[in-house]
């Protein structure tokens, strides 16, 4: 399976649904925009709202936010499939696996490939007719 740099979102469209107390992210299919929402991860210092050093609290929150994003980004690999043609990450409904393990295409690439096969077949059929005459 192809793994991206963890700081880069897996899908083209990702939303941050985090708040002061919890970290949560939404990843969207690159084809149909169907989303998967990561499980909520609580901010470890969220229960200490009276923490006196606000700047320290912000730094801890930012670090935990990044770690939660990386965890969610990794988990998103199990909810989306990578197109072997265009490298998009798509949901199961938009993915057409091939016979080989870990290989397949998104619907858009499959449709393009299907059209090009039909065009080639039609062209070959026309050439056969011309040779018969």
Q: What is the pLDDT of residue 91?
A: 96
On whether the CB atoms of residues 94 and 111 are closer than 8 A, the answer is no
pTM over 0.95: no
- What is the pLDDT confidence band of residue 98, given thresholds at 50, 70 and 90? confident
47 has pLDDT over 80: no
Q: Over the chain, what HEC string results?
A: CCCCCCCCCCCCEEEECCCCCEECEEEECCCCCCEEECCCEECCCCCCCCCCCHHHHHHHHHHHHHHHHHHHHHHHCCCCEECCCCCCEECHHHEEECCCCCCEEEHHHHHHHHHHHHHHHHHHHHHHHHHHC
Question: For 58-92, how does the pLDDT look when each residue is reduced to its tens digit (9 = 90+)?
Answer: 889 999 999 999 999 999 999 999 999 999 999 99
What is the pLDDT at residue 6? 52
């Amino acid at each position: 399976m192809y793994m991206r740099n963890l700081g880069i979102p897996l899908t083209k469209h990702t939303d941050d649904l985090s708040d002061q107390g919890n970290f949560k992210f939404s990843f969207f299919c690159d084809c149909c925009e169907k989303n998967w929402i990561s499980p909520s991860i609580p901010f470890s210092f969220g229960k200490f709202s009276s923490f006196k050093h606000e700047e320290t609290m912000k730094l801890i929150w930012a670090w935990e936010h990044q770690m939660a994003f990386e965890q969610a980004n990794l988990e998103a690999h199990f909810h989306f499939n990578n197109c072997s043609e265009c490298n998009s990450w798509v949901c199961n409904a938009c993915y057409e696996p091939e016979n080989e393990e870990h290989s397949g295409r998104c619907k858009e690439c499959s449709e393009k490939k299907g059209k090009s096969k039909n065009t080639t077949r039609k062209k070959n059929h026309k050439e056969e007719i011309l040779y018969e005459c």
